[in-house]
Structures are given as C-alpha cells and as structure tokens.
Chain A
C-alpha cells in the first residue's frame, strides 16, 4: 500500500510539473524574445517530453535496451532534421 501511495504521489508531482511548464510556455509566447522564441519553446517542450519519457513511460530504472531503442528513434530524428535543414540553410551560398 505504501508503494502504491508513493507511485501515486510521484505521478501527481510529474503531472503538476507538466502543467506548470505548459503555463510557462504559453506565458512566454506572449513575450517577444526575438531569435530566442524558438529555442525557448523547444527547450520547454523537450523538458516536458523528457518528463513523460522518463517517469510516465518509466524509462527510469528500466532496461538499458529500452533506452537504446528510444534513443535511436530520437537520434535518427536528429539526423533527419539536421541534414535537411543544413541543406536548406546553405542553399543561397551556392546560387
């Protein structure tokens, strides 16, 4: 029973953290940070996603293998986005 209460308390804490971060990202979006608009929005979204992955999807304390599989998904996503954008960002230089 004690363990159940602990799990419950932890999941509620993560839920509250996600709600606070949602409020922060909405509030910050009304402030124009110029070039920082995108990085700040992405940083908050990644933090939220990280909380969900580690606690709700219990990567924490789970098999190394699952970390590798989950990580490989994000690694290939990073490659996809980096290579695509590095192409588009450097196109004018050629013409």
Chain B
C-alpha cells in the first residue's frame, strides 16, 4: 500500500489502495463491455441468418449504401479513438489541460461522425429507402432490400445511440477535469470512458464491412 494511496482524497474507503481501486474500476468496465458484446452480437447473429436466407436482397441493399461516406466515417471514428487514447495517457500524467484538449478533440470528431451519419439517413429518407410506409424501392429484390435496411437502421442507430451516450460521458469528464479532479494517481473515469469509446469503435469496425462493403 502506497503512502499516497492512504491519504489520497480520491480513494474510496472500501478499497485497500488506489491500485486496487483502479483495477476494480477496469474490471467492472470490462464486465459491462462483455455484456455489450452479447447485446450487439445478437444483432450480428440475426443479420448473418437473414443475409444467408436472402443473399441477393442483402447484396442489393449493401450496394445502396454510400461507401465513400462510410469510409470517411470509419477514418473519423478511428481518429476519435486516437485522441481518446491521448486523453487517457494525459490522465496517467495528471495533465488536466491535455485531458481536456484531447477530450474536446474526441467530441469534435464524434460530432463529425454523427453529422455524416445524419446526412446518410436523410438521403435514405429522401430516396424512400426506409423500411415501413416510407419505403418506395421498386426493384426486383424489394423485400430483401427492406429487410437489409431494417438491420441497417437498427444497428447503425443503436451504434449512434452509444455515441450520443458517449458524448454525455465526455462532457462529464471535461467538467471534472476543469475542476481539477484528475491527478497522476487518479484518473479512473477517463480510463473507463476510454474503454467504452474504443468498444463503440470496434462495433463500427464490424458494422462497416458487413453493411457497406460485403458483395456491394
């Protein structure tokens, strides 16, 4: 048990020391992420089954998505993961200014991602490529395309929802950092949100090829 640990204000009373507290926070976050793997995993499994039953329809549906926009968004999201890594590293140094700078960068890149996503959605609405009463696609594979678009909207929508929640967490971290709550010894929240943000990035890393690229 370190000297700093015993007297540090950030140490909750039920932990032995700061290191144990940090490891517990990490472990809790990873357990949550394991449940998230199953959450998105069920959708990927359903997608695999429906695509297997409807190869032509899904392939046609894939070709209706905008590959350049999807590619740019992938790059933007990976970039936001890089600034998130830098924020976590700044946390380990206890450098509040650098934490804030990098979190703001992450927030900005995340916003670019969502703006592009919103643009894509509005194109789909405009082109009648939305499942339900707005659906006006008249091609041969209409039924398969509609099912594909259901998956497209649910999966990317759920992913976008995760990002919106991430925005809230980033703002919360920025406020904490401004109040000087993070030090060299304690920056667990930055680390936890970092894990979450990277996980959301990983989900997109699979969504992108499965929805935009496969047999397009």
Binding site for B on A (CB under 8 A): 4, 7-8, 11-12, 15, 18-19, 22, 25-26, 29, 37-38, 41-42, 44-45, 48-49, 52-53, 56-57, 62-63, 65-66, 69-70, 72-74, 76-77, 80-81, 84-85, 88-89
Contact = CB atoms under 8 A, between A and B. Distances in A.
Contact of B89 (A8, A15, A45, A84): A8
Nearest to B50: A88
Contacts, number: 119
A33 B147 CA distance: 25
Given A44-B209, A80-B38, A73 B33 contact: yes
A70 B38 contact: no
A80 B42 contact: yes
A8 B198 CA distance: 17
Given A80-B45, A84-B45, A52 B81 contact: yes
Contacts of A11: 82, 85-86, 89
Interface string B86-125: 1001000100000000000000000000000000000000
Interface residues of B, number: 47
B93 A25 contact: no
Contact of B53 (A37, A70, A88): A88
A52 B29 CA distance: 16
A86 to B, nearest CB: 11
Nearest to B210: A41
B45 A81 contact: yes
Contact of A74 (B37, B93, B213): B37
Nearest to A29: B213
A26 B67 contact: yes
B78 A29 contact: no
Interface string B2-40: 000000000000000000000100110011011111100
Contacts of B34: 69-70, 72-73, 76
A37 B205 contact: no
B78 A70 contact: no
B213 A70 contact: no
B136 to A, nearest CB: 27
B89 A7 contact: yes
A62 B26 CA distance: 10
A49 B208 CA distance: 12
Contact of A63 (B23, B41, B214): B23
B48 interface: yes
A57 B27 contact: no
B30 to A, nearest CB: 4
A63 to B, nearest CB: 6
B137 interface: no
30 contacts: A15-B81, A22-B71, A22-B208, A26-B71, A29-B67, A29-B213, A29-B214, A37-B215, A41-B209, A44-B209, A49-B202, A49-B206, A52-B81, A52-B202, A52-B205, A56-B84, A56-B201, A57-B194, A57-B199, A63-B23, A63-B26, A66-B30, A69-B27, A69-B30, A73-B33, A73-B36, A77-B41, A81-B44, A81-B48, A84-B45
